[in-house]
Amino acid sequence: MAENLGAVNGSLSEETRQTLLEWNRHDDEADRFCMHDDEDSPDSRYVDLLLNPERYTGYKGPEAWQIWNSIYEENCFKPYTVRRPLNPLLSGSGLCVEKRAFFRLVSGLHASINVHLSARYLLNDNWFKRKWGPNVTEFQLRFDEELTTGEGPKRLRNLYFLYLIELRALAKVLPFFQRPSIHLYTGDAEEDKQIKELLLELLHVAKSFPLHFDETTLFAGDKTEAAKLKDDFRQTFKNISRIMDCVGCFKCRLWGKLQTQGLGTALKILFSEKLIETLPQSSREKPSFQLSRQEIVSLFNAFGRISTSIRELENFRKLLSELKQ
């Protein structure tokens, strides 16, 4: 069943195919935090995300556990002597602020994916219809304080931390999309204009949020050490992208890589604040900061997934409350 549920619907309309070919001509190159697939490779394929929603696929067991274990063990840094006071929000024994933040981001990403799988669970499967919906038992197995020996609530706090980081990135990237030279190519000039207006409206809402994460607490120490930490972040995140390629379930790999790339793009934005602030308005000048089409798509889809996770948490709280009555 897991192989069947994890299969990807690869059908695309002819109009979509032509738009993708044209969009590639408008793509930007950039210094990336993630390993992007070669879109010209015969092994690469485009998929319609609307036809392949993120939900339970039955992918579990040793292989799934080993993937996340590799991500945590090989990429979340080892404890070392703390050289400056820890931010209370990010405090953790033996890790500096930056590395503790990185661990919380990965944990939040893991938590978000688990929320999605619990919220879109296969409740009934018969020959004529499949029923998807929230599975409270599955949610409790992943997040209940007693069933997870106290880890579940920490995972959910990390989910909110991830949300604040990605929200902050959306606020910071506003100047990039405000430039007249930026066009979100869809193949239809009128639709391009409408989508950009909606996008800017979304980014202004993100910027108006009153409780943004203060990224100035990161990399605020010695400049040499801060530069080394930033490079560690970039290289470590690229490792996570590579590990995602080992996921056996095609649909799980699709959404896992998309959200990993989205978070990597958010980090790239936060680390490039000065470059974004000095972007030229004219298309004739070469910009010092760029985003590729893949990065733009993954950034907004990843934020959509995190936002959906938080909304689903409210639904699970309501369902759990009803069960206790």
Q: Which of 34, 76, 96, 249 is catalytic?
A: 249
Alpha helices for 25-124 (secondary structure H): 62-75, 97-119
Task: Tell me if 55 is assigned to a ligand binding site.
Answer: yes
Task: Tell me if 255 is assigned to a ligand binding site.
Answer: no
CA atoms within 13 A on the CB side of 16: 10
Q: Which amino acid, 170?
A: L
Please give the DSSP secondary-structure letter assigned to residue 285: S
Tell me, rounded to whole angstroms, the distance of Cα 40 from its chain centroid: 24
Best CA proximity match to 275, nearest among 204, 184, 172: 172
How far is residue 193 from each of residues 17, 26, 197, 200, 244, measured CA to CA in Å? 21, 15, 6, 11, 35
- Give bridge partners of residue 122 from the DSSP assignment: 132
Active site residue 34: no
Neighbours of 28 (CB within 10 A): 13
Task: Tell me if 265 is assigned to a ligand binding site.
Answer: no
Rounded-to-integer distance, Cα 287 and Cα 279, Å: 6
Active site residue 249: yes
Task: Tell me if 68 is assigned to a ligand binding site.
Answer: yes
Catalytic amino acids? 249, 252
Known binding positions: 55, 57, 68, 107, 110, 142
Q: Which residues are annotated as a binding site for FAD?
A: 55, 57, 68, 107, 110, 142
